[in-house]
Structure 1
Amino acid sequence: MSAETDMIKLYSTRILALASEIPHTTRLPAPDGTARKRSPLCGSTVTVDVAVTDGRISGFGQDVKACALGQAAASVIGQAIVGQDRATVQRGRDELNAMLKSDGPVPTAPFDGLAVLEPARDYKNRHASIMLAFDATLAALDDAKVTS
């Protein structure tokens, strides 16, 4: 398979659809925590605001400036993030990282939609952008002083 064919396969119709349908793109006016993460390799950035009630994300806003893969990850995460606690977010991040870097299985629910990014395993230079939404969310939870 040629490199061009591989890239076409990587940027599937589903990934492009997710990238164009990112939820929660309005920043929160008074978040409990905020964080911005940047991939030094490609310059992609994700800024996340969280509102937290009883240890769970009750409000979420994100500003995503990333490649289609990073946008698709932010889309899937954004669809599932409200109602989650820090431990679930950390587990999802760890599972996505293992899927990309260690040929691990796809993440479990509620982040199982990230399976669409499985073809990105072979594109290590895209991994940091794909991880940004989780990394920014966890940092925003840290900023809100949410543990476990």
Structure 2
Amino acid sequence: MIDDLYSARILTLAANLPHAGRLASPEGTGERVAKLCGSRATVDVVLDDQGRIADFAQDVKACALGQAAAGVLGESVIGATVQDLTEARDAMAAMLKFGGEGPSGRFEGLRVLKQVADYPARHASTMVAVEATLEAVQAAQAARTRLAGAA
């Protein structure tokens, strides 16, 4: 069963991380750490004038499952909104914990991780990139609100 968990698709995603690194001048940064295993994702974003992700970078130090989730995220994140990310996070959590189908639309590729549901110790590492990205977008929005209030 563990061989199914680390399928060729998951290992390919883990090995090819889009937008790896950090942005020089991010509007928002998010960081999440899975306490059980130490998987970590640090995400930087810049938003466009509609609040969508215009630029994105991720520094992910995680197991193959966390890296694979970050790989899917990196393939589809440009243009995403806070609503897209919230829906993806919630659908992914439901997929892992309650047998849900997983994200649809932009982040449907995260469904490749559905079998992780059988390994609760791996749930947190699978979620770090999505949660860090959502946190980064929320931080960017908060920074914009503070700037608008100061003007």
The structural deviation recorded for 1:145 is 2.2
Instruction: Give the total of aligned pairs.
Output: 142
1:118 maps onto 2:118 in alignment: no
The structural deviation recorded for 1:140 is 0.8
* C-alpha separation in 1, matches of 2:131 and 2:110: 15
* C-alpha separation in 2, matches of 1:113 and 1:101: 18
* C-alpha separation in 2, matches of 1:73 and 1:21: 11
The structural deviation recorded for 1:8 is 1.0
Superposition map of 1:1-16 within 5 A: 6-16=1-11
3-state secondary structure, aligned to 1:40: coil
Please say if residues 82 and 138 of structure 2, whose CA atoms lie closer than 8 Å, have aligned partners that are also in contact: no
The structural deviation recorded for 1:81 is 0.5
The structural deviation recorded for 1:141 is 1.3
Listed as ranges, the gaps of 5+ residues in structure 1 are 1-5
Give per-residue Cα distances to partners, 1:19-47, cap 9 Å, x unaligned.
Answer: 00110002110000012110100001000
TM-score w.r.t. structure 2 length? 0.91
* C-alpha separation in 1, matches of 2:6 and 2:101: 20
3-state secondary structure, aligned to 2:99: coil
* C-alpha separation in 1, matches of 2:102 and 2:127: 14
Please say if residues 13 and 68 of structure 2, whose CA atoms lie closer than 8 Å, have aligned partners that are also in contact: yes
Q: Which runs of 4+ in 1 moved over 6 A?
A: none
Aligned to 1:32: 27
Listed as ranges, the gaps of 5+ residues in structure 2 are 145-151
* C-alpha separation in 2, matches of 1:95 and 1:60: 22
1:105 maps onto 2:101 in alignment: yes
Superposed CA RMSD: 1.2
* C-alpha separation in 1, matches of 2:138 and 2:32: 13
* C-alpha separation in 2, matches of 1:36 and 1:114: 19
3-state secondary structure, aligned to 1:91: helix
* C-alpha separation in 1, matches of 2:92 and 2:71: 14
Identity of aligned residues (%): 49
* C-alpha separation in 2, matches of 1:16 and 1:79: 15
Superposition map of 1:1-148 within 5 A: 6-54=1-49, 55-145=51-141
* C-alpha separation in 1, matches of 2:30 and 2:85: 15
